[in-house]
């Protein structure tokens, strides 16, 4: 996989919503960009503060047929006030037109009473667009040379991924869209031509949107909650960046959760494999998909704090850095353990398939799976808040066996860790 412009040195910096919560936070971000800027910088931003949640609440209200004007007005107030604090004037470019589009779409949603996937993806992505426009304007205001880039012009999702126009269900918005992946080759081509645009000459800082991408036919797609980290990793890959830094509100990846372990310290270096394990086991700083695009080109990923920018944070790369085998201790909480058991399971080919199929239909992912060799029981750990949905679905699937007492009704232990 070749990078877009091998002769240019790039660094990628990603700032999440809490690093862009208000005007003061934008100012610190601009300081950080100025401080770390050498060569060329690609700055990937999330939506400001709680904007994504606000947009989701707006869509929920529209679909429920509730009034949405006040929610839209709140967006106008919030963004006008931050724009006037940062730039000394209200009205970001396109902002009124965007609000007009949002209002129209909300009217449509309240007529349809459902949320088609493309409408969701289009609407929920405005937060990132506004952040990128505000930050690039603000950087220019402070004398830097920045341009805004809508990542939907560059990031193409893979055609075989599920970007269909079905309605958005609760579970699809809750849990990231692990079904959408960026096509790195197609995106590299688009980035290469974009970077050739003469209008860009002179801008050595590009501020782009996390979280949003587009299909080959340019239909908007989102990359799942907290997907901006993945966007940053993808841009790092496409640019062959020297490093990708995720700026966040914690000092790096810790060797234990500081809420539980007061002596927890930051881990200086981790290998990609170790980071993936920790990311999975609740080190929520890192979206698991962030590693793949970087690992392929051995690009280091640094996690650092916007509050203590001079601290080294955690650097994830090819080498583990330490010889000690235990890097960190972590836990997955809010888990329910399901056990399906009974003589009717033993030696019956396909019963585990039925169990997992019914979980799949209910949109539930298995965190852990265990089956004893006697085949009398299968245990599956899932997110605790999905326990009731799982119980109803499994008991319905095995109703016949349960009525014949070949299988017991699903056992559910709530609130495990």
Closer CB to Mg ion, residue 16 or residue 251? 16
Contact positions with ligand ASP (CB under 6 A) in 123-152: 127
Pairing verdict, β 301-305 and 243-248: parallel
- Read out DSSP for 306-321? SSSTTS--EEEES---
CB of 225 to ligand ASP, least distance (A): 4
CB 123 within 8 A of CB 55: yes
CA torsion angle 102 105 110 116 (round to 10): -120
Between 46 and 68, whose beta carbon lies closer to ligand ASP? 46
Spatial separation of the C-alpha atoms in residues 348 and 350, rounded to whole Å: 6
Question: Residue 240's binding partner, choosing from Mg ion, ligand ASP, none, with beta-carbon cut-off 5 to 8 A by kind?
Answer: none
Q: Residues 6 or more apart from 230 whose CB is under 8 A from it?
A: 182, 223, 224, 287, 289, 290, 293
Q: In the complex with ligand ASP, which residue's Cβ is closer, 176 or 328?
A: 176
- Is the CB of residue 244 less than 8 Å from the CB of residue 237? no
**Residue 5 lies near ligand ASP (rule: CB under 6 A):** no
Report the residue from 3, 41, 46, 266 that binds ligand ASP according to the rule CB under 6 A: 46
Question: Considering only residues 4, 14, 15, 17, which one is a binding residue for Mg ion as defined by CB under 5 A?
Answer: 17
* Interacting residue with ligand ASP among 19, 41, 52, 266 (CB under 6 A): 52
CB of 17 to Mg ion, least distance (A): 4
CA angle 209–12–217, rounded 5-degree value = 40
Interface of this chain with ligand ASP, residues 213 to 232, rule: CB under 6 A: 225-228
- Pick out residues in 152-211 that bind ligand ASP (CB under 6 A): 210-211
Sheet of 243-248: strand order equals 146-149, 205-209, 40-45, 10-15, 243-248, 301-305, 314-317, 269-271
How near is the Cβ of 209 to ligand ASP at its closest, in Å?
A: 9
Question: Which residues are CB-contacts of 392 (< 8 A; sequence separation ≥ 6)?
Answer: none
Instruction: Give 250 or 355: the residue with its C-beta nearer to ligand ASP.
Output: 250
Among 3, 16, 126, 148, the residue binding ligand ASP under the rule CB under 6 A is 16
Q: Is 266 in the site for ligand ASP (CB under 6 A)?
A: no
Check residue 46 for interaction with Mg ion (CB under 5 A): yes
The entry of ligand ASP, Mg ion, none that residue 344 binds, CB within 5 to 8 Å by partner kind? none
- Residue with Cβ nearer ligand ASP (227 or 342): 227
Would you say how long the chain is, in residues?
A: 417
240 touches ligand ASP by CB under 6 A? no
For ligand ASP, which is the closer residue by CB, 142 or 225?
225
Scored b (16 or more CB within 10 A) or e, 354-378 reads ebeebbeebebebeeeeeeeeeebb
Interacting residue ranges for Mg ion, rule: CB under 5 A = 17, 46
Interacting residue ranges for ligand ASP, rule: CB under 6 A = 16-17, 46-47, 52, 127, 210-211, 225-228
């Amino acid at each position: 996989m070749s990078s877009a412009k091998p002769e240019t040195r790039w660094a990628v910096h990603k700032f999440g919503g809490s690093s862009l919560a208000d005007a003061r936070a934008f100012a610190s971000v601009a300081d950080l960009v100025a401080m770390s800027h050498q060569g060329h910088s690609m700055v990937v931003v999330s939506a400001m503060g709680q904007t994504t949640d606000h947009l989701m609440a707006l869509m929920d209200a529209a679909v429920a047929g509730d009034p949405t004007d006040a929610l839209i007005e709140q967006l106008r107030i919030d963004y006008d006030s931050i724009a006037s604090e940062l730039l000394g004037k209200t009205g970001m470019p396109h902002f009124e037109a965007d609000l007009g589009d949002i209002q129209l779409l909300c009217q449509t949603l309240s007529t349809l009473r459902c949320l088609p996937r493309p409408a969701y993806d289009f609407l929920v992505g405005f937060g990132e667009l506004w952040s990128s426009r505000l930050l690039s304007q603000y950087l220019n205001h402070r004398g830097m040379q920045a341009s805004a880039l809508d990542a939907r012009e560059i990031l193409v999702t893979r055609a075989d991924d599920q970007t269909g126009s079905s309605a958005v269900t609760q579970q699809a918005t809750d849990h990231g869209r692990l079904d959408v992946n960026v096509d790195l080759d197609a995106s590299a081509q688009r980035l290469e031509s974009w970077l050739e645009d003469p209008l860009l000459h002179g801008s050595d800082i590009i501020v782009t949107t996390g979280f949003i991408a587009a299909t080959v036919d340019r239909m908007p797609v989102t990359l799942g909650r907290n997907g901006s980290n993945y966007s940053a990793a993808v841009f790092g890959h496409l640019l062959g960046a020297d490093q990708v830094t995720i700026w966040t509100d914690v000092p790096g990846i810790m060797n234990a959760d500081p809420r539980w372990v007061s002596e927890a310290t930051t881990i200086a270096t981790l290998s990609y494999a170790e980071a993936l394990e920790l990311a999975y086991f609740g080190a929520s700083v890192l979206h698991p998909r962030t590693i793949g695009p970087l690992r392929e080109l051995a690009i280091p990923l640094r996690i650092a704090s916007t509050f203590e920018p001079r601290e080294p944070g955690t650097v994830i790369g090819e080498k583990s850095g330490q010889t000690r085998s235990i890097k960190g201790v972590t836990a997955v909480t809010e888990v329910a353990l399901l056990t399906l058991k009974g003589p009717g399971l033993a030696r019956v080919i396909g019963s585990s398939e039925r169990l997992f199929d019914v979980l799949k239909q209910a949109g539930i992912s298995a965190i852990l799976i265990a089956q004893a060799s006697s085949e009398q029981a299968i245990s599956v750990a899932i997110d605790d808040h999905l326990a009731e949905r799982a119980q109803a679905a499994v008991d319905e699937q095995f109703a016949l066996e349960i009525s014949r007492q070949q299988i017991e009704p699903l056992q559910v232990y709530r609130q495990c860790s």
